[in-house]
Amino acid sequence: MPFLREPADAWHVLDPVVRRWHRMRQVVGLLGVAAAVVPGPLGDTAWLGLGGLVGFTDATLSLRGHRPSVLRSLLLDAAVTGVALTVLRSSPPTVVAWIVYLAVLAVGLMPLRDAARLVPVGAAWVVAPVVARRVWGPAAAPGFDAAMAIIAGVLALVVIVYLGDAMETLVRRDRAALGVLDARSRHQQALVLCSRALLRGGDVAIDEALEALRRATGAHQVFVDVNVNHPTEGLCARVVHELLDPAFEERETFDLYVTADGERLEGMLPYHVLPTSYAGLRRLRPAIVQTDELPPGPERRLYEESGVRSELNVPIVVGGRWHGSLGLGVFDERRDWTPRDVELLGTAADMFGSYYERAQDRERLEELVEAKDELIASVSHELRTPLSVIVGLASELRDRGDEFGPEERAQFVELIATHSEEMADLVEDLLAKAADAHGELVVVPEVVALDELVAEVLRQRLVPDDRSLTVETAVVKAWADPGRVRQILRNLLTNAVRYGGPDLVVRILPDGHVVAVEVADDGEGIPADRVAEAFEPFGRGHDRTTQTQSVGLGLPLSVRLAELMGGALVYRRKEGWTVFRLELPRVEE
């Protein structure tokens, strides 16, 4: 039963019994005093019998499950004993015997620290009436002892009740303070262990951290979940780590939800069936769930099936955003979570947030290193081919120039110029990307005749002779940087030749306040699942293993340049054609 473990609860449950017992003790004590007044063996026998009843009651006190009342009871026992010994004119050995009895009883029924406090006070109450009789007894009337004893006994009982309450209060405060210090110590130790484990990292270390939290809080379950999006159920809590008390290892708490299609979600619960937790966590606040307080519905059924009666969830924040939660659960009984529990779990959740943030930073660093290696490989590949052609042709002209006729030498020079321009274009893209990364990418717009600019780009022979090229032009002007427009068109034509179909179309289309230049081909286009990647720096819109390798700068850089000129670059598939549309501000004639 809970009250056997919680003294505060036991006090409320046993309070009526204890109060009646104290009244019985007072009556027995007063009857003992009255019996002591009766002369002869009868009074002695009655007093000894009643004293024995008091002793028996004290001896069985620990069996009544209410140790805090021992203090008050023994002080009452000391008071009535002192009065009775005074009336009986007992000898000093008898007084000493009663003090020894009091000490033995106190040590046997309560902690040594409390007994050390009680015995001196109790001994004083035993000795005080005897000393009073020795001082005033010889000059007093024969009935003085009895009257004095009864009056002293009543006064003693009144004082003892108040003194007992005060001492019980002090004891409870001491125990409460010790409980707080003990809980704080356990919580701090758990946080130290949690911090050390998370710094090491790995699943084993996380389990150690969760076990430290479970032991510190006395919970039956500790878990970590992260937010994921399910195609049909929306935002869900997916458990990534869970630790159960050995007595509850067979419990299933995260595999209970079944979708409308009959699919059982393994290790995952949708938040639309956890509104209580979701309401707090989405605002980055702790969420407390008491199953017996939930309204009838899916959420309550879920908790009842799992056996969880009380749950505390604290959000895990990564990069300022809600990433998941750290939770505690108690099975089969209600638990009222304290502010210390919330504080402990909140601090631990911050540690987990830092842990996941470091993990994400590590992943980004690894991706950056991988991207750097790929960039070096791609740039090397892109430069190797034209550079090899340039070096080879230049060597031929140097070593055997006289052997070639004027027409052949002109072809060599043309090829050298073309491949040199290709390398220069790649270097220009790399420099532009570096400038953009530092916020230094600049465009200088002016009035541009797009038809003339498109014709200039096409004269660079970017489209080989084995491809069909159709040009649909229009006389129209735009507000743009001519060098950046050439850079964008060059990238679009290069991609169309490299990855597109055999037929290419370049068209200029006035469209209201904008003018568009479209580069289209009849190829397969970018796979739907690669469109977003194609527009990321160093991304690919094609299979790296089966198609020509590229640096992956052309499209994202072209998008950025278009935006800086007040325009846009968009991609779409239309009637079997892959279309890239560059839109620029139009200049009216």
Domain housing 79: 2-180
Using the 3D structure, point to which of 322, 337, 352 is the last residue of a domain: 337
Evaluate if pTM is beyond 0.85: no
168/285 same-domain check: no
Q: What is the DSSP letter of 528?
A: G
Domain assignment of residue 305, yes or no: yes
Q: Is 367 among the domain residues? A: no
Regarding whether 306 and 261 lie in a shared domain, the answer is yes
pLDDT at 562 over 50: yes
Say if residue 298 is in the same domain as residue 396: no
Tokens coding 3: 């009250």
467 lies in the same domain as 430 = no
163 in the same domain as 133: yes
| pLDDT(223) > 90 | yes
The residue ranking higher by pLDDT, 248 or 85, is 248
**pLDDT confidence tier of residue 551, bands split at 50, 70 and 90:** low
335-350 pLDDT, tens per residue? 999 888 899 899 999 9
In a domain, 485, yes or no: yes
pLDDT in tens, 116-142: 776 777 677 667 666 666 665 554 444
Neighbours of 226 (CB within 10 A): 16
Verify that 57 and 170 share a domain, yes or no.
yes
Q: How many domains does the chain have?
A: 4
Cα 306 to Cα 227, 279, 287, 291, 491, distances in angstroms: 21, 21, 18, 11, 59
Percent of the chain with pLDDT over 90: 17
For position 14, what pLDDT does the model report? 43
**Domain co-membership, 164 together with 235:** no
Please check whether residue 201 lies inside any domain of the structure.
Answer: no
**Domain co-membership, 422 together with 485:** no
Q: What does the alpha-carbon distance between residue 316 and residue 486 come to, in Å, rounded to a whole number?
A: 49
CATH number at residue 507: 3.30.565.10
pLDDT band of residue 517 (cuts 50, 70, 90) is: very high
Answer yes or no: is 194 within a domain.
no
Nearest to 453 by CA among 500, 489, 407: 489
In this predicted structure, the answer to whether residue 163 has a pLDDT above a threshold of 70 is no
Same-domain check for residues 157 and 242: no
Q: Are residues 452 and 433 in the same domain?
A: no
Question: 581 and 535, same structural domain?
Answer: yes
- For 364-404, write each residue's pLDDT tens digit: 888 778 777 776 776 776 677 778 878 888 888 888 877 88
The one-letter code for the residue type at 129 is: P
Q: What is the pLDDT of residues 445-463, one digit of tens each?
A: 999 999 998 888 888 767 7
Residue 342 lies in a domain: no
Tell me, yes or no, whether 101 and 142 share the same domain. yes
Question: How many other C-beta atoms can be found within 10 angstroms of the C-beta atom of residue 173?
Answer: 10
Binned at pLDDT 50, 70 and 90, residue 442 comes out as confident
Instruction: Give the number of residues written for the chain.
Output: 589
